[in-house]
Chains A and B, each alone.
Chain A
Amino acid sequence: MKYLVNFCVFFILWSIQGQAQGLFNAAAQNYKNEAYSKAIEQWNTILDNGEHSPALYYNIANAHYKLNQLGPSIFYYEKALALAPNDTQIKTNLGFAQNAKVDAIASLPKTIFSKWYSMIVGQFTFDSWAKMTVLFSCMFSLLFLAYYFVSSEQKKRLYFATAILSGCLFVLAFTLACVRYKDLQENVFAIVFSQATDVKSSPKTNSDTVFVIHEGTKVQLLETDGLWTHVAIENGIDGWLPSSDIKKL
């Protein structure tokens, strides 16, 4: 039933796909002619119709950057990177946007393991890891059967070794997919949209201001209380700020 619904949705989307592509190109033309607001509007229409892509987010971010809207710009770059973590083009332009930020927050020093972790796990989305898991699972099965049935000693050895290797890779890929999935579920980030906002020590207007953050800064969401959100910034300091000042990624 679910698949049937999905199929229907897909079919409907496929029928409006051409229309969306036309809108996308029209917006790109507007961008070229420096009508950035118009371009953003058209690209957002595509998003409202329930379609996205790294390219779409990236383009919206570029247009916001051109309009000097730092918060939305960084927000959409991050959205694009979430879908395509290895896109150098997106990374480059995100760098430009981050250069224009007021806050320079030194991130906490990372251990070598966490560096490796982000280097390896951050390479792919959890769906890509899941696909790899399936691939390694098939490979392992085939190689194991080959090992089992082949009679030649030499070939048996070869198949056994490769089967064990792909078995290990299978377990690794599955673990990483789980880890990345959990990571995404637990570590939710947001971008500061307001020009500057006071981060308070407790969710009250009259409480002490811990620090001030500015537009475009990425914060990690910890919890919410009414209209206030508990956030932590890259260097580990945390505090409360009004939920309206940030936009969840």
Chain B
Amino acid sequence: MDRQKHIWFVLFVVLFAFTSEAQVTFETKVSRKKLGINERVRVDFIMNADGDDFNPPSFEGFSVVGGPNQSISNSYINRKRTYSKTYSYFLSPLKQGTLSIGKASIYVSGQTYTTTPVTLQVTSAVKTPSDGLGNNPEVIAEQNVHLVAEISNATPYLNQRLTVTYKLYVSNNVSITSQWREINSPRYADFWSKNIDSQKLNLFEGKYQGEDYRYVVLKTTVLYPQKTGPLEIEPLTLDVPIDVPGKRRNIFGRTLTTRVNKTISAGKRTINVKPLPTKDRPDNFIGAVGDFTFIATPNKKVLEVDQALELSLTVSGKGNLNTLSLPSLKVPSTLEVYEPQRKENIRTRASGISGSISEVYTVVPQNKGTYPISPISFSFFNPDTQSYQSVSSEQIVIRVTAGSTPKQDPTLVKTQTQQTQPLVVEERFRYIKLNAGLSPIASIPFFKSSLFWALLLGPLGLIPLFILLGKKHRSMRADIQGIKLRKANKMARKYLVEARKNKHNKAIFYEALERSLHNYLKARLNIQTTDMSKERIAKLLTERKVAATPVLDFEKLLKSCELARYTPTSDVAIKQDYQKAVATISLIDKQIR
């Protein structure tokens, strides 16, 4: 049964749709969806058919301050009938919060239609309460025109680009037909800023808080924060003439508009600027934020002495090029370098600053040679990857050849103070040596080695030795008599020894004894063999203070020697004579002077 009813209903609806072109609509319209507690709202229940038995909702949370007012409009345009019947109420909210207006129902040609419930937002009291009629142009203007500052990045890094875009939203209810005026344009303290004004105001369709609006982009500002921490952006304030359509119409049926001058501003915004991370920060980082490339290029690599070359360091890319400082050039000290010339080629767009900056150094070499210029590295923080990056230039080698005219240009005044005088070198770089002349590295140094000490002290030690030997030699040479004496003694002893050996041979014994006696005297008295008479011997011995007895003994010995040659003597006599000779010689030796 229930099901059958449904089918009938569907059939009826379909038939009705086909038979009558105008479908029945019944809806609730509110003048505003958001209102203060001290404001009123108008609620219209509109239907396009002549319905009966209108049943309003209970309006819970509201008090009905007006209505219901019924109005019917019936118009024919191009033979087409437009009919509408409206029940209006003016409501005043009783409490804050979300309130809803419930279903209303109507009965049209045997069918009951209902509206969908509408929810309203009731806020605290507002200053200029709207009467809910929508008749106050000031309120309408305020509600339909909005200025918005859109910030691309509310938490940028130091020196990271951000943009502020000012958009003027205008709803379809009002229009702006004449030029607005800027009352207060923001100054951006603590920012590097650049305004990019829109040349042509293009109208865009967009949404503002969920409702359809038209908007224009007034201007875009590119900002580079120069300070960390919360930074405030001053609001932009405009004086806008707004045309608000009124209720009345002129004779041509057009609505009469009221012009309202309204001051609107985009609210204050606070940007929280983050400091650059300290972790992994390169030592040579000097505040570049963005994405860059870095090159160093000389205009020539081979030149003559006193010619100049230009070396340019170029940073290009996107980022804070305007406030960037380039790494300084480090060149060999004997190259003269002048203050660099800075060249900038920067474009600022809404997407940020891009282009290149370069510093051109003039370098004048003073000496011949090869000068390597070590790679220069440039570090920057890339906010996209949130990391530090380093780029290095290539190593540059400058070859300086001898100049044709090695004269000093007096106009080139040295700008660098305290430059050391370059070493005066000969004109050419010398070739390698081809003679190896190798020696072991581990060799012990000669100095302080034992060989050194031996060679050092040896000759010095030899001096006293030589002196000693020399002295002895000299004294020996000075004592010739002594030598002779020793010789004679030696001879005497030798002959006496010879005599003693031949004690049993009489002839040889006496011969030897005589010879030894003579030899002794020769040595002792310095007399020659030729002059060996007994008288002379006695005289000489006496002269040398020898006592008489040994002299006599000596003479006796000599006599007995002579005698023994011719007469036989006994062994006893021989023995006696030998003893006598020894005794006499020793006695003479003692006494002789």
Q: Interface on A for B, CB 8 Å cutoff?
A: 2, 6, 9-10, 13, 17, 20-21, 24-25, 28, 31, 46-47, 50-56, 58-59, 62-63, 65-66, 68, 70, 89, 92-93, 95-96, 98-106, 126-127, 129-131, 133-134, 137-138, 140-142, 144-145, 148-149, 174, 177, 181, 195-196, 214-215
Residues of B within 8 A of A105 (CB): 420
Q: Complex Cα distance A134/B458, Å? A: 9
Residues of A within 8 A of B460 (CB): 137, 140-141
Count chain B residues whose beta carbon lies closer than 8 angstroms to a beta carbon of A. 54
Minimum C-beta distance from B152 to chain A (A): 38
Q: Complex Cα distance A144/B438, Å? A: 39
Residues B442 and A50 in contact, CB atoms below 8 Å apart: yes
Minimum C-beta distance from A228 to chain B (A): 18
Take A96-B425, A130-B452, A148-B467 as given contacts and tell me if A52 and B447 are in contact as well, using a CB distance cutoff of 8 Å. no
Minimum C-beta distance from B388 to chain A (A): 18
Minimum C-beta distance from A151 to chain B (A): 11
Minimum C-beta distance from B15 to chain A (A): 91
List 24 contacting pairs A-B, 8 Å CB cutoff, sorted by A.
A13-B440, A24-B438, A25-B436, A53-B438, A55-B434, A89-B430, A92-B429, A92-B430, A99-B423, A100-B332, A102-B330, A106-B418, A133-B456, A134-B455, A137-B458, A138-B459, A142-B459, A144-B463, A145-B462, A145-B467, A148-B466, A149-B470, A181-B448, A214-B374
Residues A59 and B432 in contact, CB atoms below 8 Å apart: yes
In the complex, per-residue mask of B339-380: 1 if CB is within 8 Å of any chain A CB, else 0: 000000000000000000000000000010111101100000
Minimum C-beta distance from A96 to chain B (A): 5
Residues of B within 8 A of A70 (CB): 372
Q: Complex Cα distance A51/B395, Å? A: 34
Residues of B within 8 A of A62 (CB): 429-432
Residues B459 and A140 in contact, CB atoms below 8 Å apart: yes
Q: Complex Cα distance A231/B463, Å? A: 49
Take A55-B436, A99-B369 as given contacts and tell me if A92 and B330 are in contact as well, using a CB distance cutoff of 8 Å. no
Q: Complex Cα distance A55/B426, Å? A: 19
The reply on B445 being an interface residue by CB < 8 A is: yes
Minimum C-beta distance from A107 to chain B (A): 8
Minimum C-beta distance from B450 to chain A (A): 9
The reply on B419 being an interface residue by CB < 8 A is: yes
Q: Complex Cα distance A196/B373, Å? A: 12
Dominant secondary structure at the B interface: loop
**Number of A-B residue pairs with CB-CB distance less than 8 Å in the complex they form:** 161
The reply on B334 being an interface residue by CB < 8 A is: yes
Residues B438 and A99 in contact, CB atoms below 8 Å apart: no
Q: Output the nearest chain A residue to B331 by Cβ-Cβ distance.
A: A102
The reply on B437 being an interface residue by CB < 8 A is: yes
Residues A51 and B447 in contact, CB atoms below 8 Å apart: no
Q: Output the nearest chain A residue to B428 by Cβ-Cβ distance.
A: A92
Minimum C-beta distance from B188 to chain A (A): 36
Q: Given known contacts A21-B436, A102-B332, A148-B467, what 6 new A-B pairs fall within 8 Å (CB)?
A: A25-B434, A50-B442, A100-B370, A101-B333, A127-B447, A148-B470
The reply on B76 being an interface residue by CB < 8 A is: no
4 closest A-B pairs (Cβ-Cβ)? A104-B333, A141-B459, A130-B447, A68-B372
Indicate which residue in A21, A93, A130 contacts B429 across the interface (CB closer than 8 Å). A93
The reply on B110 being an interface residue by CB < 8 A is: no
Residues of B within 8 A of A89 (CB): 430, 433
In the complex, per-residue mask of B218-254: 1 if CB is within 8 Å of any chain A CB, else 0: 0000000000000000000000000000000000000
Residues of B within 8 A of A92 (CB): 425-426, 429-430
Q: Output the nearest chain A residue to B474 by Cβ-Cβ distance.
A: A149
Q: Output the nearest chain B residue to A80 by Cβ-Cβ distance.
A: B433
Residues of B within 8 A of A17 (CB): 438
Q: Complex Cα distance A131/B456, Å? A: 9
Residues of A within 8 A of B459 (CB): 137-138, 140-142
The reply on B422 being an interface residue by CB < 8 A is: yes
Q: Output the nearest chain A residue to B423 by Cβ-Cβ distance.
A: A95
Residues of B within 8 A of A46 (CB): 436, 438
Residues B420 and A100 in contact, CB atoms below 8 Å apart: no
The reply on B566 being an interface residue by CB < 8 A is: no
Residues of B within 8 A of A47 (CB): 441
Residues A51 and B433 in contact, CB atoms below 8 Å apart: no
The reply on B439 being an interface residue by CB < 8 A is: yes
Q: Complex Cα distance A141/B445, Å? A: 25
Q: Output the nearest chain B residue to A181 by Cβ-Cβ distance.
A: B447
Q: Output the nearest chain B residue to A209 by Cβ-Cβ distance.
A: B283
Minimum C-beta distance from A134 to chain B (A): 4
Q: Output the nearest chain A residue to B434 by Cβ-Cβ distance.
A: A28
Indicate which residue in A6, A68, A99, A195 contacts B367 across the interface (CB closer than 8 Å). A99
In the complex, per-residue mask of B363-403: 1 if CB is within 8 Å of any chain A CB, else 0: 00001011110110000000000000000000101000000
Q: Output the nearest chain A residue to B368 by Cβ-Cβ distance.
A: A96
Q: Complex Cα distance A95/B428, Å? A: 11
The reply on B446 being an interface residue by CB < 8 A is: yes
Q: Complex Cα distance A183/B584, Å? A: 79
Residues B440 and A51 in contact, CB atoms below 8 Å apart: yes
Residues B446 and A127 in contact, CB atoms below 8 Å apart: yes
The reply on B185 being an interface residue by CB < 8 A is: no
Take A130-B452, A215-B374 as given contacts and tell me if A51 and B367 are in contact as well, using a CB distance cutoff of 8 Å. no
The reply on B435 being an interface residue by CB < 8 A is: yes
The reply on B77 being an interface residue by CB < 8 A is: no
Residues B425 and A99 in contact, CB atoms below 8 Å apart: yes
Residues of B within 8 A of A142 (CB): 459
Residues of A within 8 A of B334 (CB): 99-101, 104
Indicate which residue in B330, B435, B440, B470 contacts A50 across the interface (CB closer than 8 Å). B440
The reply on B413 being an interface residue by CB < 8 A is: no
The reply on B444 being an interface residue by CB < 8 A is: yes
Q: Output the nearest chain B residue to A68 by Cβ-Cβ distance.
A: B372
Minimum C-beta distance from B416 to chain A (A): 9
